[in-house]
Amino acid sequence: MQKRFIPAVLVLSVLLAMFVVCGLQMERTRARFATGAEVRRVYLTFDDGPSTVVTGRILDILKKEDIKATFFIVSDMARTRQETLSRIAKEGHSIGVHSASHDYARIYASDEALLSDIDECAAYILQVTGIKPRLYRFPGGGHERQKELIRERGYTIIGWNAVCGDEEIKDATAWELSQEAARTSKGKDPVILLLHDSARHRATADALPAIIAHFREEGCVFCAF
């Protein structure tokens, strides 16, 4: 008679072991989210747009992947692409000032010229989207002496610490861009990844799914400023 109970005992033992394993995994997950440990943040940031085709494709990918990103706008580019700029705002992405013209000689002619460029771009973003931008990224990178002037205007200056190589690598393929994003972001937390969405950066849009997949495989969480 006792032999009939052996399979039932084995089944109960297996079920008990499964419950223990699941419980331990849930505790690890709870602890990870409670403390922030092991959760690496990634900010996807796009400069020099919007463009019609490239920005549109990027927005399609971000929508599919349920990711919010940050777009630094060139208002001269946006004047003929109001629908794309509006879409960026409507889909919940963060919008920052990059420049009105992206013309370095004009922008950096003087402190007054820089601030005028920022004001022009910000005013256009506000006009089209109803959003008063509070993020700023320097065209061409940081300029230490002028940062305080910009902060006094109420802006948070956003740099970057990783690149996909879409400006650095000539004629890069989508695979090369995804590999460069992985290489330059290694060991960074948070990762602030610089990408571009102007018309000539079609390979960047092509690379974006692989870039997202790489960070997801590493357990990262995507954020916007």
Tell me, yes or no, whether 26 lies in a domain: no
Give the model's pLDDT for residue 14: 42
Give the model's pLDDT for residue 88: 98
Total domains, the chain: 1
Start-to-end Cα distance in the chain: 68
Residue 153 maps to which CATH number? 3.20.20.370
Q: Is the bond preceding residue 50 a cis peptide, omega within 30 degrees? A: yes
Tell me, yes or no, whether 124 lies in a domain: yes
Q: Count H helices, E strands: the chain?
A: 9, 8
CB atoms within 10 A of CB 172: 20
Instruction: Using a cut of 0.95, tell me whether the model's pTM lies above it.
Output: no
Tell me, yes or no, whether 75 lies in a domain: yes
Ranges of residues in the chain with a pLDDT under 70 are 1-37, 142
The 10s digit of each residue's pLDDT in 90-114 is: 999 999 999 999 999 999 999 999 9
Give the model's pLDDT for residue 214: 98
Range of the domain at 109: 37-223
Give the model's pLDDT for residue 62: 98
Give the model's pLDDT for residue 143: 76
CA distances from 89 to 37, 127, 225 (A): 31, 12, 13
101: nearest Cα among 83, 117, 79, 123: 117
Tell me, yes or no, whether 146 lies in a domain: yes
